[in-house]
Amino acid sequence: MATDRALPEPVVIGVTKARRDGRPVETCTVAFTKVPIEPFLKAFSDSTNAEKLSEESEGTWTSRLYMLIAGNRKQFVKLKYARSPDGNGPMAASSIAER
């Protein structure tokens, strides 16, 4: 559990090193219990070169998959979030990239 004035609190951050199809990969997941969804999505879009690959909705939850280049590495990023009536909601952002 991390606390930082730049991030909405509380936030959980997880980082792993693993293998996918025999290749070494790194993953990172950041989970927020409550974040302003639209401003987050706009900041993500404005600050990355992410290309949206898919979007699925199930009830109040939306899941989006993106591909982007960051740090000279191709990464897949999945955002899963649920909007509440006030525009805030829980969100998990996960990325996976080859090492």
E strand or H helix at 76: strand 73-82
Burial 77-89 (b: 16+ CB within 10 A, else e): bbbbbebeeeebb
Confidence of residue 3 (pLDDT cuts 50, 70, 90): low
Query: What is the per-residue pLDDT across 55-99, written as a single tens digit (0 to 9) for each?
Result: 999 999 999 999 999 888 899 999 999 988 898 999 999 999 988
pLDDT reported for residue 7: 63
Inform me whether the pLDDT recorded for 2 exceeds 90.
no
Q: What DSSP state is assigned to residue 48?
A: S
Confidence of residue 9 (pLDDT cuts 50, 70, 90): low
| Average pLDDT of the residues of the chain | 89
Confidence of residue 12 (pLDDT cuts 50, 70, 90): confident
pLDDT reported for residue 79: 97
